Structure 1
Amino acid sequence: MTPPFAVADPETGAAVKAADRAHVFHSWSAQAVIDPLAVAGAEGSYFWDYDGNRYLDFSSQLVNTNIGHQHPKVVAAIQEQAAKLCTIAPGFAVDVRSEAARLIAEVTPGDLNQVFFTNGGAEAVENAVRMARLHTGRHKVFSAYRSYHGATSTAINLTGDPRRWPSDTASAGVVHFWGPYLYRSQFHATSEEQECERALEHLEQLVAFEGPQSVAAIILESVVGTAGILVPPAGYLAGVREICDRYGIVFILDEVMSGFGRTGAWFAADHWGVVPDLLTFAKGVNSGYVPLGGVAISPEIAATFATRAYPGGLTYSGHPLACASAVATINAMREERIVENAADIGERVIGPALRDIAARHASVGEVRGLGVFWALDLVKDKATHEPLVPYNAAGADNAPMAEFAAACKKGGLWPFVNMNRTHVVPPCTVTEAEAKEGLAALDEALSVTDRYAVNG
């Protein structure tokens, strides 16, 4: 049988592209200058266009297809649920919604046993912050500069990357701080231990100067995602937990990107044994097959709303089709040992290969990550750590990264590129052979960025 990606149909592809350009308004884009790829299909770790080009998905789309494309058990679960009950309001008790919440509570850290369902990660963050503010009676929320928490009102103000700037009201009660990042330390640290100690001291000083009695929450990505795959040093998350406990501050961990197997554990917080008060999730909970996110809630915060109405809700909260896909996803991840596969591939294949690549390429400054969650920090000069392109580069300034991305795609690899970094984030189901195929294509494409580096 001819594989579907080998059957070219450029006429249909042109029609799809034309309809898109006529009617679809794309996110984060200047509409007149983008050229979206018309996608014909996907399966496992690959997707393909109408011209017969197949791409190994080293981006997992937006780092969310953790179980790969078109997983048959999840597709079947959505179909079965659609035949039974397509939709019902959030106020009803429904078997599939209850089961999804139960399974999520089983795998989240500690005693986060209740789940508020949202349609995605940004809404999860919005509601987690609302819960923290109502629980504490305080307003300020601390978040890191190198972060992304979503594009809705509060979430975009919490975000620490340039996408915040056009929407930043400077009145949302948000205080930004520097998280640990030894490679480009804000604290003049020379070791992971120093970076951890000084980052915690910096955070506690800010809390003191802002007034602890006014701080509702500190929100962190357990492992920073879009802003660089920044793995915290040992002791950092526990140190933030201790600061929160000392001042009665709610600790929120954003696991929208790092959760559900991405780091080789169910949640990134599991690597350090830290339990937050609230945990936000989305993406990998069902690989984005149907929009779903949520907040896992501690008993103490849940008790705040035992006899007091929680003032928040969504028409599609706990949508049956989304919950059915989550149930099937979590069960498949257990049955097929997908979390274990992510850990194994990261430790045995991806990590060693990326470190070897870094040693051979003048433009690779640092390798960091775990599981199937990795970043290459690309530089002009390994000695000075000068980024390959300026912060928030655009146009001609971003040419090295644009050329690198084009080289990846020409080699059949779909990359995740952000600023001066490329992230290696294939599905958690990626095989050893697929990982090696992608790493070889990445290795070849880096010859483009080496031309812009000292000694390249």
Structure 2
Amino acid sequence: MSRTITSERYAEVFDYTQKVLDLIAKDEISKEEAEWVTRQTVDNFREHVNPGFLSYRKSVTKDGQFAAVEWKDAGPNSFMDVNGKEYIDCLGGFGIYNVEHRHPKVVQAVINQLNRQPLHSQDLLDPLRAMLAKILAEITPGDLKYAYFANSGTETVEAAIKLAKMHTGRTTFISTTKAFHGKSLGALSATAKGVFRKPFIPMIPGFRHVHFGDMEMMRKTFEACTLVGEEIAGVILEPIQGEGGVNLPPENYLKQVRELCDEYGALLILDEVQTGMGRTGKMFCCEHYGVVPDILCLAKAFGGGIMPAGAVVATEEVFKSFFPNPFVQTTTFGGNPLACAAAIATFHVLIEENLLDRCVEMGEYLLKGLREAAGQHKDKVQEVRGKGLLIGIEFHSDEIGYEVSKGLFDNGVLVAGTLINAKTIRIEPPLTITYDEADRVIEAFAEVLRLLK
């Protein structure tokens, strides 16, 4: 049954919007206002967003109550819920907050651009996009040179797939098991998680999945596809699998994949949406392994934790497929001035504050402390692994990981599972995490393990 939108309904919406705008304008809110925000959030998720989120969020809410409603950043490496409880952020928005929460320089760059011009005309040449593209050409490895800008990681993967198809004239791609590349249909075709794929099968045709780290299987797939006339357009990989469980590649694996791509005339696409921007102790994770891709995908921390932003960077030889018609791959908001200002400021901060070295230092410290804590509980913890500040803790079962995640949450430390799976949880804080905060994380982890039956 259709409903008529009356003047009274508009008046109700106006009053509701006014109340919300008044609330977000306040530095502090009262207990009664916090209760109203909590009720509105839970009710509206149930009735208008997706009730499934309530069951999911309940797994990290004390006593099964829907009380944890986030409200504001509480510091560079933490946030506060609407009731005033503070959490050390060891989830980092799945890798968004590399340069901390609300870094002043990133915030100011966005404000400065906002005061000048929030969005571009879509017709005139926008300067910040050009300047950011130059920065990427200077700071990315090898001869990566041209950039296309998007709003998210999945959009960058979509663009990379299209670019590889255009350049090679081929349609077959190799991805890996446990890979995560996004959930739009093209990116989902490269993603390996069955629970995300099954409802939307058939996927985009041409994608093959091989075991991550298995070079023999990779080579045999190349050989088989070539024999049947389905030559490989590209291999898409995360240098370290984030969502799949913080899986590090075997020694020389990435170099061997690079050589195999060269042998067969295929492109190497590296998805550094999560591993890029200093997360592993290098600006881009591929630098650890001495490998340069033909196409590099960036997002998450690319916007400095302030703006949604992503980029595809490619060599001139590959990117020139987009030259004849630059409108073959565009997005209205990709490369907008606010996002570009945030990304430019993010690179500035990463370099100025020497956050790559800090990431190495704090990553080694956290890994050592977490491993020592886990060493007393080998019946619960299978492995602690990682590089830089991308750390995974793998347990012997989902149930143990679930209980540890809840316990850490109750102790004011936010972590997350991988691909909605608690068997491996991630420790992925801002690169600015302090020794004191790292000690509190380690102590909380040790205490939760000690109390776990």
Alignment of 1:68 with 2:100, yes or no, is: yes
Deviations 1:203-251 (A, max 9, x none): 0101212227532111000111011111112211010001101111111
Tell me if the contact between 1:217 and 1:252 (Cα under 8 Å) persists in the aligned partners. yes
- Pick aligned residue for 2:271 from 254, 274, 293: 254
Alignment of 1:13 with 2:34, yes or no, is: yes
Alignment of 1:416 with 2:448, yes or no, is: no
- Pick aligned residue for 1:359 from 366, 372, 375: 375
The structural deviation recorded for 1:171 is 4.5
Write the distance in 1 (CA, Å) between the matches of 2:446 and 2:50: 29
Change (3 A) 1:338 1:90: farther
The structural deviation recorded for 1:121 is 0.3
Secondary structure at the residue paired with 1:113? Answer: strand
Larger radius of gyration: 2
Amino acid at match of 1:30: G
- Pick aligned residue for 1:442 from 441, 445, 448: 445
Amino acid at match of 1:124: T
Deviations 1:78-123 (A, max 9, x none): 1100011110145532222222222222221211111100011000
- Pick aligned residue for 2:84 from 24, 31, 52: 52
Alignment of 1:430 with 2:427, yes or no, is: no
TM-score by length of 2: 0.85
The structural deviation recorded for 1:354 is 2.2
Tell me if the contact between 1:146 and 1:227 (Cα under 8 Å) persists in the aligned partners. yes
Deviations 1:32-65 (A, max 9, x none): 6354732221121100112221000000022211
- The equivalent of 1:201 in structure 2 is 216
Change (3 A) 1:165 1:440: farther
Tell me if the contact between 1:229 and 1:373 (Cα under 8 Å) persists in the aligned partners. yes
Answer 1 or 2: which has greater helix percent: 2
- The equivalent of 1:322 in structure 2 is 339
- Pick aligned residue for 2:153 from 107, 114, 121: 121
Deviates more, 1:54-63 or 1:254-263: 54-63
Change (3 A) 1:90 1:301: farther
Deviations 1:403-429 (A, max 9, x none): 222211111111122320111111011
Amino acid at match of 1:406: K
Tell me if the contact between 1:366 and 1:377 (Cα under 8 Å) persists in the aligned partners. yes
Tell me if the contact between 1:286 and 1:325 (Cα under 8 Å) persists in the aligned partners. yes
Secondary structure at the residue paired with 1:300? Answer: helix
Write the distance in 2 (CA, Å) between the matches of 1:36 and 1:142: 43
1:247-396 equivalence runs, <5 A: 247-309=264-326, 311-347=328-364, 349-361=365-377, 362-379=379-396, 388-389=397-398
- The equivalent of 1:111 in structure 2 is 143
Secondary structure at the residue paired with 2:182? Answer: coil
Deviates more, 1:279-288 or 1:79-88: 279-288
Deviates more, 1:437-446 or 1:111-120: 437-446
- The equivalent of 2:212 in structure 1 is 179
Secondary structure at the residue paired with 2:237? Answer: strand
Write the distance in 1 (CA, Å) between the matches of 2:171 and 2:288: 30
- The equivalent of 1:405 in structure 2 is 405
Deviations 1:121-161 (A, max 9, x none): 00000000000011111111111111110111111121112
- The equivalent of 2:12 in structure 1 is none
Write the distance in 2 (CA, Å) between the matches of 1:9 and 1:74: 30
Write the distance in 2 (CA, Å) between the matches of 1:91 and 1:103: 23
Secondary structure at the residue paired with 2:167? Answer: helix
| Stretches of structure 1 lacking an aligned partner (at least 5 in a row) | 1-5, 181-198, 380-387, 390-398, 452-456
Deviations 1:270-290 (A, max 9, x none): 001100000000011123311
Change (3 A) 1:270 1:78: same
Tell me if the contact between 1:252 and 1:280 (Cα under 8 Å) persists in the aligned partners. yes
Identity, % of aligned pairs?
31
The structural deviation recorded for 1:14 is 2.5
Deviates more, 1:47-56 or 1:166-175: 166-175
Secondary structure at the residue paired with 2:287? Answer: helix
Secondary structure at the residue paired with 2:68? Answer: coil
- Pick aligned residue for 1:153 from 180, 185, 203: 185
Tell me if the contact between 2:303 and 2:310 (Cα under 8 Å) persists in the aligned partners. no
| Stretches of structure 2 lacking an aligned partner (at least 5 in a row) | 1-26, 58-65
Deviations 1:63-84 (A, max 9, x none): 2111111111111111100011
Write the distance in 2 (CA, Å) between the matches of 1:73 and 1:275: 30
- The equivalent of 1:40 in structure 2 is 71
- Pick aligned residue for 2:52 from 26, 30, 53: 30
Amino acid at match of 1:153: L
Tell me if the contact between 1:8 and 1:52 (Cα under 8 Å) persists in the aligned partners. no
Change (3 A) 1:277 1:27: farther
Alignment of 1:237 with 2:254, yes or no, is: yes
Tell me if the contact between 1:286 and 1:330 (Cα under 8 Å) persists in the aligned partners. no
Tell me if the contact between 1:408 and 1:415 (Cα under 8 Å) persists in the aligned partners. yes
Amino acid at match of 2:68: L
Amino acid at match of 1:306: F
Change (3 A) 1:227 1:87: same
The structural deviation recorded for 1:448 is 5.3
Write the distance in 1 (CA, Å) between the matches of 2:156 and 2:329: 11
Change (3 A) 1:246 1:406: same
Secondary structure at the residue paired with 1:243? Answer: helix
The structural deviation recorded for 1:309 is 4.7
Tell me if the contact between 1:253 and 1:280 (Cα under 8 Å) persists in the aligned partners. yes
Write the distance in 1 (CA, Å) between the matches of 2:160 and 2:204: 19
Secondary structure at the residue paired with 1:233? Answer: coil
Write the distance in 1 (CA, Å) between the matches of 2:268 and 2:424: 29
- The equivalent of 1:77 in structure 2 is 109
Write the distance in 2 (CA, Å) between the matches of 1:94 and 1:133: 28
Tell me if the contact between 1:224 and 1:230 (Cα under 8 Å) persists in the aligned partners. yes
Write the distance in 2 (CA, Å) between the matches of 1:91 and 1:245: 38
